[in-house]
Amino acid sequence: MDELRRSSHDGNSWSHLVTIGGEVLLRPLGFKRRLVTLDGQVIDLLEGRGSGGPDLIFLHGLGDRNSTWHRVLWRLTRGPWGRILVPDLPGFGRSFLSPGQSMPDMDEGLELMRRLVAEICPEPPLLIGNSLGGWLAWRFMTRYPNDLLGLLLLAPAGFMSAPEAYELGQRFLQGQRNEMTDAIMGDARFDMRFFARRIIGHMLSSEVVAELCNQDFREMLCQDGELAPYAARVRCLWGELDSLMPRRSLEMLRQEIGENLVFEPVGHAPQQTRPGMVVRELKALVEQLSQSALGAPCA
């Protein structure tokens, strides 16, 4: 297997069907595929454009790919933002790992994200991240605050204890298709759940996902007060129906960002099940930043 390019979605015909079908529908709105190469790693991304403003970068979660954002992207082309950039993270979708390459750890992933932002965004962008993508986004803010304008987090990971992080990893390593579909997409319509069960079932057996879950994330978990200095530049949507993340994560987030945490009756992936709500919160973030003295990157 080391002699082959690898992705958690390679060989998953259901995932490819959803991805290609969504891209066909997005094409008339101006979205196109683009490849960006950074130190030998090829990042496959979708690119579109809004009506003008800060660029947007969307980061998917563990085992997911950029197609998770399709229903949101359909609603964005007239919004107050510039380019809309939606990558497949390394090892997912069409951003293949090179022969012999292992999954990047969080430090490597953050450095790659920093280089990607520098490569494709002339000005600090807004990051929008779900689950693992939300973890990357807020950790990016704490490490490189000058490189970002603000964050919209959707059920972000990383707000938990080390034992809770281990237990979450075990759910991906040992979980069953139906149980994990309920945990991630419990508020989805029947037709969405039909595809989700098949895509998630394949993802759970992926060696790429297993490699990532077996990494040691303890140093990347949020410590008390780490995100609080940037709270004015952060907005978070958390789902009442989310049964994947530890319940304590909600209280930890509230302590970090206060009233900028929005609690709604949605699941773990609102970008798929409630895309209009995500767009609403994105617009609210833009307004939040415009009203804040912290709307510009910290010196």
Q: What is the CATH number of the domain that holds 150?
A: 3.40.50.1820
Contact 106, 217 (CB under 8 A): yes
Nearest alpha-carbon partner for 109 in 74, 150, 59, 72: 59
> In this predicted structure, what is the pLDDT of residue 293?
52
Any domain includes 298: no
Any domain includes 227: yes
Give the phi and the psi of residue 68 in degrees, each rounded to 5: -60, -20
Mean pLDDT of all residues belonging to the chain: 93
| Digit-coded pLDDT (tens) for 121-141 | 999 999 999 999 999 999 999
> In this predicted structure, what is the pLDDT of residue 11?
86
Any domain includes 6: no
**For residues 230-246, average pLDDT:** 96
> In this predicted structure, what is the pLDDT of residue 209?
94
| pLDDT surpasses 80 at 292 | no
Any domain includes 1: no
Maximum C-alpha span of the chain: 52
**For residues 76-88, average pLDDT:** 94
Long-range contacts of residues 254-259, Cβ cutoff 8 Å, at least 24 apart: 255/224, 255/228, 256/159, 256/222, 256/225, 256/226, 256/227, 256/228, 256/231, 257/227, 257/228, 257/231, 258/231
Any domain includes 8: no
| Digit-coded pLDDT (tens) for 264-284 | 999 999 999 999 999 999 999
| Digit-coded pLDDT (tens) for 140-169 | 999 999 999 999 999 999 999 999 999 999
Any domain includes 172: yes
Q: Which domain holds residue 112?
A: 13-292
Per-residue confidence at 27, pLDDT binned at 50, 70, 90?
very high
Structure tokens at 177: 């298709």
> In this predicted structure, what is the pLDDT of residue 4?
67
> In this predicted structure, what is the pLDDT of residue 297?
47
> In this predicted structure, what is the pLDDT of residue 80?
92
> In this predicted structure, what is the pLDDT of residue 1?
38
Any domain includes 230: yes
Any domain includes 299: no
| pLDDT surpasses 60 at 299 | no
| Digit-coded pLDDT (tens) for 182-204 | 999 989 999 899 999 999 999 99
Minimum mean pLDDT range among 46-50, 173-177, 227-231: 173-177
How many domains in the chain?
A: 1
> In this predicted structure, what is the pLDDT of residue 298?
42
C-alpha 91: how far from chain center: 14
